[in-house]
Each structure stands twice: as C-alpha cells, then as structure tokens.
Amino acid sequence: MSTLEAHPSTSTAVAPSRPTGSSAPLHPLGLDAVTVGAGFWAARQGNNGDHAIPSGRDQLERAGNLANLRIAAGQAEGDAVGPIFADSDIYKWLEAVAWEYRRRPDPRLLEMQREVTALIAAAQEEDGYLDSVMQIRHRAEGRYFNLPWSHEHYCAGHLIQAAVAQIRCTGDRQLLDVAVRVADHLVATFGEDRRHDVDGHPVIEMALVELYRETGIRAYLELARYFVEARGHGLMESYGKASSYFSDRVPVHEADTVEGHAVRAVYLAAGATDLATELGDPELLAAVERQFAHRWSTKTYLTGGLGSRWEGEAFGDPYELPSDRAYAETCAAIGGIQWAWRLLLATGKVQYADALERMLFNGFLAGVSLAGTEYFYVNALQVRVGAHADEPRSPRSGRHGWFDCACCPPNVMRTLSSLAGYLATSDDRGLQLHQYTTATIDTESLSVQMTTDYPWDGTVRLTVTAAGPDPRTLSLRLPAWADGATLTVDGQSRPAPAGDYMTVERTWSVGEVVELALPMEVRMTYADPRVDAIRGSVAVQRGPLVYAVEEVDQAAGVSLDEARLVPDGTTSVEHRADLLDGVSVIHLTGRTAPAPASGWPYPDQPTGEPTFSTDDGLPLVAIPYYAWANRALGAMRVWLPA
Amino acid sequence: MSTLEAHPSTSTAVAPSRPTGSSAPLHPLGLDAVTVGAGFWAARQGNNGDHAIPSGRDQLERAGNLANLRIAAGQAEGDAVGPIFADSDIYKWLEAVAWEYRRRPDPRLLEMQREVTALIAAAQEEDGYLDSVMQIRHRAEGRYFNLPWSHEHYCAGHLIQAAVAQIRCTGDRQLLDVAVRVADHLVATFGEDRRHDVDGHPVIEMALVELYRETGIRAYLELARYFVEARGHGLMESYGKASSYFSDRVPVHEADTVEGHAVRAVYLAAGATDLATELGDPELLAAVERQFAHRWSTKTYLTGGLGSRWEGEAFGDPYELPSDRAYAETCAAIGGIQWAWRLLLATGKVQYADALERMLFNGFLAGVSLAGTEYFYVNALQVRVGAHADEPRSPRSGRHGWFDCACCPPNVMRTLSSLAGYLATSDDRGLQLHQYTTATIDTESLSVQMTTDYPWDGTVRLTVTAAGPDPRTLSLRLPAWADGATLTVDGQSRPAPAGDYMTVERTWSVGEVVELALPMEVRMTYADPRVDAIRGSVAVQRGPLVYAVEEVDQAAGVSLDEARLVPDGTTSVEHRADLLDGVSVIHLTGRTAPAPASGWPYPDQPTGEPTFSTDDGLPLVAIPYYAWANRALGAMRVWLPA
C-alpha cells in the first residue's frame, strides 16, 4: 500500500480515518489546502524556518544528541550525553523540518532530513528497538528496565510522529520504515498478555493512532488503546512520585480532571481523544471533554497556559494559579493545543477553537522570542520587582537558545511550521474557519482567500477564489469575547453572536466577499474570586491577545510594585510598527500607590492599601504578553492591582 | 580540663564564652536556671517527653537509622537504608534525649542515651571519621567524594550538637569524646591549605563554635570560620543546583538577604552569628542582622514561617509568599528560632525576641500535633477546597508520624525539650524575660516565679523568690503588637511601650510582685500590598497567636470558597477547655459570597466580586493556627478575603 495514495491530502499531524472508522465530524485540511500568507503568523513562521530550524540542527550537534545516535550506530565511540530522552529532541526537530519543507520546499531541508534520517536508521537495532541513550548508557540494565522514567516509548512516539510528518510532507518513507519497525517491536513486546508496563511519559498513544491512520495496521491502534487503558491502575506506584504525577491514579475513562505532570497529562488526554475518535467510543470522548472542561475552568491561566507548579512541573489544585510562580511550560501549552485541536475535530464545538486561539496567541507564543531562536521553558505571568534569576528556567533570566532539558525549543519549531493545519477544517457540507490570519484555503468544492490584519485589526475579509456548482457552507468562528461582532454578506451586515459559529450557506461564485468585523475594544478582565493569587487585580485584553505591563515601557521612576490600574480610566490603542516587530500597544490609566516602608509586612492596623497619591493620571503602557522579555529584562505583570 | 567545671551553668545549646572572647551582651540561662511550670508549653513538653521521644526511638529503629550504625560498627550486615543523612536524625533525637533528661531526669532516658551512644562510638572509624551511610553505601567512592550533597559535615554537626547537649545536661562525656575525634578529623582534613571543600548543608558551623565553647579548643572555631568564609565563592557551582541554593552565591559578610534552600540558609546564618559573637566581628554581625531584617520584612509568613517554594525547599523572591503553596518547612522555622536566639544574645534587641515568639507559637508549633507524635514537614497557610493529598508532605494529607526524609520530627523534639532555654537571659545588671509562660527562673542575684495563662490571658505575674543585696534590673519584653500594655509595680500601673523592653531596677525583696498586663484584643491584620498572594485579605491575631479558620468548625454548608470576613464586624473570644487541649476560639462575623458558576474563570465584564448574599451575619469560628489539622482534614485559611 502506498500511503501517499491512501491519503492524498493529509499533510497534517492529525488525520482521522475516513470514511470508515472515525466519528470525527470535522476533517483537517492540512498544509496541502491551507497556505499562510503575509501577516502575523507568517512572520513567526518565517523566523522559525529561516533561523530556528537551522539553528536547531546546530544545537542538536552541540548538545550531543546527534553524537548519541552516531555512537549507537557504531559510527563513533563515547558515552551518551544529555538526558535520557535526548533522542526525542531530534525527532521533534525532524518533524519540524518536514512541515517546513511542505510550507517552503527548500532542498536544504530535505538534505538535513535525509542525513539525520539515515543516522537514525543506522542506529536502529535488528529487532526494531531504538533508543540511543539507552543503547549506550544502560545496555547493562537492559531495555525497559525502568520504563516509568526511561522515556523509551516517549522517544518512540516522537519518532513515529516525525515519520508520519515526513511521509505526508515530503514523500520520503525511510523514517516511516524505521517507525514501523519500532512500532512492530512495541506490538510484539507490550500488552495485556505480553509485558504489562507503560512509559511514564505519554506521547506514544497519539503517535500509534496516527501510525495506524497512516498505515491502516490495526495493531498500532490496539496498542495505543492498551497504553491508554493500562493507566490509572497504579502501575507506577513505586517509582518515586505519586501516581497522580504520571496520570496513573484514575483510569482515563473515569477521570474528571487532569492532574500531575502537566505535559504528561495533556499528551495522554490528546492521545485518548485520538483513540476515542478512531474507536468511536462516546464514553471516552465524554471523559476527555469533561477533563478538558475542568482543566479550562479551574486549572488554566488567562493565557491558556497550564500547570501551575514548578514542583513536578504539575497541575495544582483547582484555582491554584499563582502569577509569579506560574510554571505554564511551553510544552504544556503545545500539548494543550494538540488536545484542543483533537477535541475540535471530534466534536466541532466552538469552545475548543476558542481555547486554541487563546493558547496559540498567548500561552504558546510567549514561549519563543520574536527572533524565533530563544525560548522560555516557564511562562510566568508576573516577574517581581527584585526577582532573582537563579536558574535558566527562571523567567527573570529571559529566553534561552537551548536548555539542558531541551523539550520546548523543537516543540515550538514543529508547532509553528505546522500552524497552517490549525486554521480551517471541512465537513460534508462545507468549510469552517477557526483561526484568522491572511491565508489561502483550497478545497475541492470551495476555495477562499482570507485577508486580515488580525490580531491588530478585527476585520477579516474572505473572497471566494473557486467554487463548485453545489451549495456549500462557510462557517466562521465568533470568539466568546467578540460581543458585538458583525458579518457582512452581499453588502448587508448582521449581528454575529459571540461564542458560536456563524454559517452562510449558498452556491458560491468566484469573487464573492464575506466580511467579518470583530470588536477590538480594550477589555478589562476580572477573575473568579477562587483564584486567590490575583484577587483585586485586573488584566487587559484586546481581541485574542492578553496584554502585559513591562517595566521597560513605563515612565522613569514608575515601579510595578506601586502601579495600580484604574479599570474605568481612559484607554487608547496605538499601533507601533517600530516596536517589537509591530504591535498595538495599549495606553492605560493608572495611579501610584507608594509602597509602605519596609519592615514587618503585616500591620495590625486596618490601614489596608496605602492611600493613593494625587497623580491620578499615571500613564501605563501595555504590550501583548507574547512579546514581553524581548528587550531589557525587568518586572512584568499581566494582572495589575486595581 | 573538665568541661563541666569550665562552664558550671551552661545546660543550653548556645553558650557564648565569657568573660573573654565574646561580644554577646546577654547570657543564656539554660535549663539549670529556668524551669517551665504547668501551662501552655509544659503541656507540649510533656507530650514531647512522654510520647514523642520514646516513639522517636522506635521510629529510628523501624526506619533503619540505627541498623545503619550497627552495620557500620560491624555488629550486623546489610545495605544502608534511608537518605544519605540518616545519621543526623539519630543525633537530633539524642540531643532531645539529653535536654529531656535535664528537664526530667528519668533513668530510662539515660539508658537510651548510653545504648545509642555506645553504638555511635562503635561505628566511628580509627581516625575519627563517622558517617554510617557513607561507610556502607559509598565506601567505593570514598569519603567526601560528593560533599555538596553527601551531608557528611551536616551529620557531624548534629553529632557535635548532641554531644554538647549530653555533657551539659547529663554529664556523660562518651559522645563528646566521639565528637572531639570527629572534629579533630575535620580539622586535619579541611581548610584553606588542606582540602578546600564545604558541605552543601550547613550546621557544622554552629556545632564547631559550640564545641569550641565547650572545650576551649580554638581550632574548632577556626574551622567554623573557614566553613563560613569559604561559602559565597561558587565552590558548589557544578553540583546540579544554582549556587544560591547552597547559599554559595554571595559571601556571608557581603550578603544582604537569605536565599536558596531555606534550612541551609538559616542554619548558615545562625552559625555565622555564633562566629561573629565569638570573634567579636562587628561586620559579620552587621551582615547577619541585615540579612535577618530583609528576610523578616520580605520573606516571612505571618506565622514566622520561612521558605515559600516547594521547588528546592527555598526562599522565593521578596514578597513571594503564597498561602496555599507555602513550604514553610518545620525545620526552617526551627532554624529561624536558632538564628533569632543567637541574634538576641548578640545584640539584646527586642525584635529578635518578638520574632522568636512569633515563630515558636505559630510557624514552629503548627509543625507538631497536639499529641506530640505527628508532624508537618510543610506548613501551608491555606488548604483549598478540593485540594488533593498527592504526597505525605502535602498539608491536605495531615500530619505524619515520620517521613522518608525525617529531619523535622527529631528537630521538633530537641526544640521542645530545650525550650526553657529560650525564655530568659541575664547580663551584668540583671534579668531579662523574653517569653512568657509559667516558670521559675533562678539566678545568683535574683530569682522569680513567673505565673501566667499566656497566651490565653495577657496577665503575667512575677514574684521575687530570692534576691541578693545589690540593685538588679528586671526587664520585660513588650511585644510589638502589645499597644496599651501596662506594668504594675508596687501596686502602681504605668503604660508599657510596645516593641521594647521595660526595665525596673531596684534592690529586690522576696515576695515583691511585678505584674504585666498585655492587651489581648482580637487584631485584624493586613498585608503589605507587595505580598500579592493575599491582596484584599485579612488575618486574625490575638496575643502572640495567629488564627486560622478551619472547615470543621464552621456551620454545615459553609464553604471556605465563599466565606468572606467582615473586618469591622463583631468578634468575641471564648475559651474552650474542651477543645484542642484547651484553646481560646474567636467568633468572627462573615458574609457569604456565592462562588460564580464554573466555566471560564476570567470574565471580561467588570463584575468584580460577586454580590454578597443577605446573610450579613455568617458566623465564622477561628482557632489558633498551631492547632489546625488535629481533627477532620479539610479546607483551612489564615488569610480570609475581606
């Protein structure tokens, strides 16, 4: 079976089977059908492709990841370096290379891809096993001697994902052959009646489902089902962490929330969503929807970021969402995006597309510098006055080009290069637009050109560029924040309700225009009082963007310790093409509340907040949160005391 | 030299040399001179002596600490068990045994002491080296192969402290002989011109200074100086943690704050204070005073607890003091007490005695159950509704009898059994009373009986029981919170200023009475607005006690998610002899603010807090913070939204 023939248009990471076997109502369009044009995301994709991906190659060389493969392949000698999951960084980068090639077919990408793929193939053992660090460092202990911590399946999962991206985007099948041999080895080794064991770090679940979709080999889907169902029975109880850390406390079908290590939890949930889709399992789908709803309402930052604890890189208790010690790992946001995307495909519900937008523009995008080559591991919503940069992950230390644990950088790369895949879907009736950026979208029965200055401007113009003879729907997402939006069709405007899709159905003609106007007022945002950490504070949003007040933009002498926001004060928006690669800044009205003298900080007298000084008109300048920490490092706040 | 003769009255952990070599203005009285009588602390000491210390012996057996010693002594075979610092738990417990014997000379204590001491002596190597886990588990790697993590000096330090307590309290000198051999080995091994290395976990500094005080051997003081001065030069830079974690970023003489691992930092600071005292080094004393002031004003919880981060058990940035994720390790409070006590002796300044009181009654005492035998490692100031007990240190899981890392339990034991030593001091002019509890205090020139129901009642009655012919001062501490206190002498009351000592000087006669009346009004306490985590919240205090609202005391159906405190509402105090071994509860006035419906928790509409329901008179009941988690486990709050 030629996989390329089987799925002629699936250059996307998630390709639910059709027409049989899948319950997914929406079909991804992938990079064949969607091309991002000049605009907000294209600029990020350009830096990612021009600078980040080539520099990733160098980083993988410098950090020793590629050397590990050479040693495992017998092409070099030495000890393995780096963390146990070092191979996975290579695979995520390789996946990014494949998406990037589909986006912009530069032969240098293919050259890098083939060189590294050959190395991977050379390192694979006879029976399909492949994990260079294990092969070198832990040969004595043997394969899978410590699976909850060894990340062997985690590495295999990222390998499979890269292989699937490679065949879908470049037609090269060498990595897929490696991946199939890895997967066959796993099928032969693990399962209820074989070795009963799971990797402590999910990702293999998503990967195996996709490999099933790509190859049609049912055993991969069944193994994914086994890995999902094996969890929640305390298999990892004696591995040094609570079973909740590994998402191993409650079976996925029964869980009401996500808990423990955030990336592990959301990767597992995304894999379970894939499984529910392929198996047509309504109970499992209901479980992951329930878990998503609980995470979204009680364990999510305004930015869409997730995982509030440094300790264990974990979800906290409900409403435990400190701004200063937010962990909100970049990889967790990416996992959140992957999960929400799968839920959107599986259900067609608008809230998942809304969540995607929030995570993409804020919790995810803050994880990479404007230049595209420096990364945050941790995405705090506040950096204190006097904060100390005590380690590379500390937000006070700024973004870095790479980390000892370098999971985030190549994860950002693969997300940015495949971003076109998250914009639109189709179903039997027509086309759905979930995210707004300038792009061309081509399907058999309807093609449109989307033109917009979003997120700076709320106007989204859609021009039909090709249409078939039958009536087709065109559905546009109205974000939940978009009260007062209008949709103009045939020159007639009508109100478009927020938090829903608005659908126009007709037989389309080339040149027809539909225009969406999203309200771009500055919004003052409050918090559920159960989020204790931000009581009495207000955040500023505009469109899909969360804003932040950064020390460097304020007038000399203004301390973020003393600034207060006047929520009903005047605000104005100014687009600054010269600033931070072009951003709309928001001018806000504040006050100064002089900090009390230092000393015992808990006075008995009910003085409360210090009295305000007379300068009612302290100007404050806010920038989009994603753009912070691209200049001088200093204090920063998303939530401002009101 | 017979050490007992050299220091005839030093049954205390800290005995600055005199008359020469010390700049300390206040002299500790120790357990020879101060006896705690029936009352608040005597009840805690009773449970500690009757139950905790004997059960500690069993726990050390069960956890394998004693077995390690037997293996090292060649009396048994096997592998070492437990953490690398397992010996230190034995030494802290042994120190508690010595203080307890001085408090109440039960021959069974002496028996336990001698048995375990003999075992320790048997495990010691020829040249004085002693660390059973290292001797068994790491013989191949060799001594000190990984000193920043091996805790070899940490164990030696606790051994020395136990030995000093033993000779001072029981006259037994076998452990002192072991300790001197350990110390001589250290002197021969470490120093600027010998091995240049320090233990990652301080305590050896305090211990060596005290061993110098006990033995007069100057080399121990010099080695302590070396260990203090070697820090702050990045010696531990490549040991997997930031140098700030080990207090190794800035030299102690230059540091303006404490940072990193909280217990390490305050143990080091306490040792540096000892050193400053013995060396008469005003710059070093100024440095540790500066550091204490910064920690007290920016890195301290209302309870006196310290160390806000789970990650690294560390101090956070200034004002980073979350209630829910407060770490506030019990051992850190104990280190804080040891540091404050040394600063008090060195300076005579009232703020250190105030700090001691706050830490003793709140941050420290919450670490042990009323029964005396269960412990908190972590002392949160809030347990959320819906909090999950994911590990033994989680406050939601309640107190435990022991921990895998059992540093806290024996640390509590030695602190409670030696508590009498923290109450009073003398100087050349007379007697200073720093803490109030029923006790007899006997010095050569003045003896008093202190009688009080403190902290439930503010009246402290002092009756002279013996007096010499010369005029002597009697100084009483007026806590900073005690606005409106009065002192009655000769039947005449006069105002006593808060936050100072009030001194009466005269030639005293037996039977004379001085009576202090401290104001015991309920106090509503606010926070510096820089402590973001508790913005808009109020805490309740009375006397030295911080109060907490615990779910179990509230009316059925009252959720701590929805309760609000009305700070100017009526309050009343009720002493409940039947509750929690006798506590004064505070009845407060609250309101119910129904939590919003679940969903996206960040609404754009400026609704702010939900409107209050009409039940203005929601009664709330607060108990002393130290007594929480002694009944049903549930939600708890020190800071209540106002």
The whole-angstrom distance between B479's CA and the closest CA on chain A is 13
Query: Whole-prediction pTM value?
Result: 0.95
CB A51 within 8 A of CB A373: yes
What's residue A162's pLDDT?
A: 98
What's residue A293's pLDDT?
A: 98
- Assess whether pLDDT exceeds 60 at residue B297: yes
Q: Is B115 a catalytic residue?
A: no
Q: Which of B525, B561, B598 sits opposite A602 (nearest CB)?
A: B525
pLDDT digits (tens, 9 = 90+) for A555-586: 998 999 999 999 999 999 999 999 999 999 99
**ipTM confidence score:** 0.93
Q: Is B405 a catalytic residue?
A: no
Tokens of B70: 């037997």
Pick from B582, B600, B423: which is nearest to B40 by CA? B582
**Cross-chain Cβ contact B244/A388 below 8 Å:** yes
Beta strand B572-576 with B583-592 is antiparallel
What is d(CA A360, CA A305) in angstroms, rounded to the nearest whole number? 10
Q: Which residues of B141-161 are buried (b: 16+ CB within 10 A; e: fewer)?
A: eebbeebbbbbbbbbbbbbbb
**CB contacts, 8 Å: B535 with chain A:** 535-537, 641
**Cross-chain Cβ contact A530/B595 below 8 Å:** yes
Residue B7 pLDDT class (50, 70, 90 cuts): very low
CB pairs under 8 A between A and B: 179
The whole-angstrom distance between B596's CA and the closest CA on chain A is 7
What is d(CA A430, CA A440) in angstroms, rounded to the nearest whole number? 15
Task: Say which of B289, B407, B512, B562 is annotated catalytic.
Answer: B407
What's residue B16's pLDDT?
A: 87
**CB contacts, 8 Å: B534 with chain A:** 532
**Cross-chain Cβ contact B319/A384 below 8 Å:** yes
CB B265 within 8 A of CB B283: no
The Cβ of residue B126 has, within 10 Å, a number of other Cβ atoms equal to 7
What's residue A389's pLDDT?
A: 86
Under 8 Å CB-to-CB from A8, ≥6 apart: which residues? none
Q: Which of B317, B323, B390 sits opposite A387 (nearest CB)?
A: B317
**Cross-chain Cβ contact A311/B316 below 8 Å:** no
The whole-angstrom distance between A527's CA and the closest CA on chain B is 4
Position A421, amino acid: G
Mean pLDDT, chain A, rounded, equals 94
What is d(CA B556, CA B479) in angstroms, rounded to the nearest whole number? 38
What's residue B13's pLDDT?
A: 87
Instruction: Strand B430-433: give its sheet, edge to edge.
Output: B27-28, B424-426, B430-433, B472-478, B500-506
What is d(CA B415, CA B45) in angstroms, rounded to the nearest whole number? 9
- Assess whether pLDDT exceeds 50 at residue B169: yes
- Assess whether pLDDT exceeds 50 at residue A7: no
Residue A21 pLDDT class (50, 70, 90 cuts): low
Q: Assign residue A78 a region: left if phi > 0, alpha if psi is -120 to 50, beta otherwise?
A: left
**CB contacts, 8 Å: B481 with chain A:** 604
What is d(CA A359, CA B77) in angstroms, rounded to the nearest whole number? 57
Residue B23 pLDDT class (50, 70, 90 cuts): low
The whole-angstrom distance between A185's CA and the closest CA on chain B is 35
Tokens of B91: 């030494």
Tokens of A135: 């092969």
What is d(CA A612, CA A610) in angstroms, rounded to the nearest whole number? 6
The whole-angstrom distance between B391's CA and the closest CA on chain A is 6
Residue B1 pLDDT class (50, 70, 90 cuts): very low
The whole-angstrom distance between A537's CA and the closest CA on chain B is 9
Among chain B residues, CA nearest to A482 = B604
Please state the rounded mean pLDDT for residues B455-471. 97
**Cross-chain Cβ contact A527/B384 below 8 Å:** no
Q: What residue has token string 């040969």?
A: A139
- Percent of the residues in chain B that have a pLDDT greater than 70, as a whole number: 96
What is d(CA B366, CA B379) in angstroms, rounded to the nearest whole number? 7
Q: Which of A481, A538, A598 sits opposite B297 (nearest CB)?
A: A598
Q: Which of A481, A524, A603 sits opposite B525 (nearest CB)?
A: A603
**Cross-chain Cβ contact A530/B244 below 8 Å:** no
Pick from A295, A237, A229, A233: which is nearest to A262 by CA? A295
pLDDT digits (tens, 9 = 90+) for A64-89: 999 999 999 999 999 999 999 999 99
What is d(CA B470, CA B257) in angstroms, rounded to the nearest whole number? 44
pLDDT digits (tens, 9 = 90+) for A490-535: 999 999 999 999 999 999 999 999 999 999 999 999 999 999 999 9
Handedness of CA A44, A47, A50, A55 (dihedral sign): negative
Q: Which of B525, B534, B602 sits opposite A525 (nearest CB)?
A: B602
Q: Which of A384, A391, A596 sits opposite B242 (nearest CB)?
A: A391
Handedness of CA A374, A378, A381, A382 (dihedral sign): negative
What is d(CA A353, CA A482) in angstroms, rounded to the nearest whole number? 14
Under 8 Å CB-to-CB from A51, ≥6 apart: which residues? A371, A372, A373
Rounded to whole angstroms, what are the CA distances from A546 to A42, A366, A549? 20, 11, 10
Please state the rounded mean pLDDT for residues A366-387. 96
Among chain B residues, CA nearest to A543 = B604
**Cross-chain Cβ contact A536/B539 below 8 Å:** no
Paired residues of B40 in beta bridges: none
Q: How many residues does chain B have?
A: 642
Tokens of A553: 């933009």
Residue A3 pLDDT class (50, 70, 90 cuts): very low
**Cross-chain Cβ contact A524/B310 below 8 Å:** no
Rounded to whole angstroms, what are the CA distances from B199 to B149, B156, B202, B335? 7, 10, 7, 17
Task: Say which of B95, B289, B313, B357 is annotated catalytic.
Answer: B313
CB B100 within 8 A of CB B49: yes
CB B628 within 8 A of CB B546: no
Please state the rounded mean pLDDT for residues A370-397. 93
Task: Select the residue from B295, B297, B602 to test the A interface by mutation, using most A Cβ atoms within 10 A.
Answer: B602
The whole-angstrom distance between A320's CA and the closest CA on chain B is 8
Among chain B residues, CA nearest to A600 = B297
**Cross-chain Cβ contact B567/A606 below 8 Å:** yes
Q: Which of A390, A481, A600 sits opposite B297 (nearest CB)?
A: A600
Please state the rounded mean pLDDT for residues B83-91. 98
What is d(CA B261, CA B240) in angstroms, rounded to the nearest whole number? 13
CB B517 within 8 A of CB B485: yes
What is d(CA B191, CA A185) in angstroms, rounded to the nearest whole number? 57
**Cross-chain Cβ contact B259/A388 below 8 Å:** yes
Among chain A residues, CA nearest to B540 = A604
